[in-house]
């Protein structure tokens, strides 16, 4: 529940920044235009998210006849999560990884790479699939779309300010003098998108922690997921993959290398912390002493 509350608070903070900066830069009309533009773009992405990302990675649906054991595993986990059984797709990628997509539980998809099927044992794979089903159950595609819409609207507002500065406009839609100085405007242009991105990434990391917790409870085996994350983390850093930056947040482990200060801009929490939290959850569940 803590991760859910954190996500709501971060979304509220992002919305507050949008309202404050938007009113300062463009007034109510400008805010409305920015929000509509961002909303249209992200609504289309949300509505076709499953088709877009699956086509992007050349994924194909795995039939029941091809892997009945895998379908049985997903069906059992979905039943435990109280959601419809998601479709299962195979991504032809050597890097061991997995992701979930779809607008919600009624049309969810779990996708696994060929690399992860070779790397993990069945208990570990079950833990990973439970994590992805956790994302579907928690409607994380919707949450990510909401965050992207608000952050996108902030980006449009900043572009409006850049345009206004470039052409020397300093009045709002009501004809009043814009209170922003040139220096203040430049600072807003630089700082606001960075803050919005940091919050958006923090929301993504919070949803990963929540999916870990939800998945561990669905599977009843936090340690299997912890072992899987440890294995995946090692191989992700040794088997590079061509991944679109805009879809990196979908994967169970960030498929792109990074570290240090860039963790603030990462869509995923540090794997070590995720494993520590899963072990703590296992202790609370009486699975580790």
- Taking the C-alpha atoms of residue 182 and residue 145, their distance in angstroms, rounded to an integer, is 33
- Taking the C-alpha atoms of residue 231 and residue 225, their distance in angstroms, rounded to an integer, is 10
Write down the catalytic residue from 132, 208, 213, 253.
132
Torsion over CA of 87, 51, 93 and 106, rounded to 10 degrees?
Answer: -20
Length of the chain: 289
- Taking the C-alpha atoms of residue 100 and residue 131, their distance in angstroms, rounded to an integer, is 9
- Taking the C-alpha atoms of residue 233 and residue 80, their distance in angstroms, rounded to an integer, is 27
CA dist 206 to 127, 154, 161, 213, 244, Å?
A: 19, 21, 31, 11, 21
Inter-residue contact 185 to 21 (CB < 8 Å): no
276 is catalytic: no
The secondary structure of residue 258, as a DSSP letter, is -
Residue numbers annotated as active site: 132
């Amino acid at each position: 529940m803590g991760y859910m509350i954190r996500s709501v608070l971060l979304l509220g903070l992002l919305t507050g920044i949008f309202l404050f900066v938007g009113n300062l830069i463009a007034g109510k009309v400008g805010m409305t235009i920015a929000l509509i533009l961002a909303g249209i773009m992200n609504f289309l992405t949300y509505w076709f998210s499953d088709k877009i990302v699956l086509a992007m990675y050349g994924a194909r649906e795995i039939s029941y006849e091809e892997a009945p054991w895998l379908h049985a595993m997903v069906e059992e986990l979905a039943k435990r999560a109280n959601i419809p059984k998601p479709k299962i797709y195979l991504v032809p990628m050597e890097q061991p990884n997995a992701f979930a997509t779809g607008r919600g539980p009624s049309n969810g998809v779990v996708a696994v790479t060929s690399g992860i099927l070779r790397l993990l044992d069945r208990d570990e794979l079950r833990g990973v699939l439970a994590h992805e089903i956790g994302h579907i159950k928690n409607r994380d595609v919707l949450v990510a779309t909401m965050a992207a819409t608000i952050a996108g609207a902030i980006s449009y507002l900043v572009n409006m300010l850049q345009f206004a500065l470039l052409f020397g406009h300093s009045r709002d839609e009501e004809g009043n003098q814009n209170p922003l100085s040139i220096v203040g405007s430049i600072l807003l242009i630089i700082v606001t998108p960075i803050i919005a991105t940091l919050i958006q990434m923090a929301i993504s990391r919070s949803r990963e922690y929540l999916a870990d917790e939800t998945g561990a409870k669905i599977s009843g085996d936090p340690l299997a997921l912890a072992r899987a994350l440890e294995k995946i983390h090692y191989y992700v850093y040794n088997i590079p993959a061509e991944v679109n930056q805009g879809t990196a947040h979908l994967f169970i482990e960030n498929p792109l290398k990074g570290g240090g200060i860039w963790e603030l801009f990462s869509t995923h929490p540090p794997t070590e912390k995720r494993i520590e939290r899963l072990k703590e959850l296992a202790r609370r569940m009486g699975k580790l002493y």
